[in-house]
Amino acid sequence: MAISEIHHVGLSVADLERSVAFYRDILGFRKTLDMPLKGSNLERLLKLRPGTKARSIIMQAGRAITGEVELIAFDPPSERPTGPKRAGDPGVFMLSFEVKDETLAAVHERLRQNGIRFIAEPLDLPLPGYGAIKALSFEDPDGIIIELIQLPSLDEARRVHKGQQTGA
């Protein structure tokens, strides 16, 4: 089967405008599509109750056409909201985005100035065979953990990998 990288992730949100503002103003995504959703095909595809409608907004970072975040508000909303997933719960509990073209420290400072409360301030996390990444985490408006990472350079990753192969 020829499967590519993740095309998009769908997030069911409590307040669509609040979530759009967060992903746009805090994370720098841009809105590329705003569409109503309804009908029996949608109900079958997403296992929805008959008559459920939704509004979907696609948010993209940069110019890529994959890795999109789809924010969806359902009408009516779930009768029994489950709240955000946490590590150890089956299902998606975190979205992780790579920081490029600036340092994680600069992004951290900008987020702090925008009132973001962090779960974890920037940390160095050594990954065996890969090198250390830098990471921080916080929550989106619905409590989904957002992780921002900065990867080691390709040269750093190659050095670590080569060192493991030679036993250094």
Sheet holding 145-150, edge to edge: 94-98, 145-150, 131-139, 118-127
Question: Is residue 154's pLDDT more than 80?
Answer: no
Percent of the chain with pLDDT over 90: 69
pLDDT digits (tens, 9 = 90+) for 113-136: 999 999 999 999 988 877 889 999
Q: What's the topology of domain 1-81?
A: 2,3-Dihydroxybiphenyl 1,2-Dioxygenase; domain 1 (3.10.180)
Mean pLDDT confidence for 152-162: 74
Tokens of 118: 């962090």
Give per-residue burial for 25-48: e unless 16+ CB within 10 Å, then b: ebbebeeeeeeebeeeeebeeeeb
Segments making up each domain of the chain, as ranges: 1-81, 82-168
* Structure confidence at residue 166 as a pLDDT band (50, 70, 90): low
Q: Tell me the C-alpha distance between 70 and 7, whole Å.
A: 10
Which one, of 88, 91, 84, lies nearest residue 138 by Cα? Answer: 84
Element (H, E) at 30: strand 30-37
Tokens of 29: 């995504």
The answer, as to whether pTM is greater than 0.85, is yes
pLDDT digits (tens, 9 = 90+) for 35-81: 999 999 999 999 999 999 999 999 999 887 788 999 999 999 888 88
1-81 matches 82-168 in fold: yes
Question: Is residue 165's pLDDT more than 80?
Answer: no
Decide if 20 contacts 72 (C-beta within 8 A).
no
Looking at residue 152, its pLDDT comes to: 85
Q: In angstroms, what CA-CA distances link 73 with 17, 19, 64, 100, 105?
A: 10, 10, 24, 30, 33
CATH for 82-168 (3.10.180.10, 3.30.360.10, 3.50.50.60, 3.40.50.2300)? 3.10.180.10
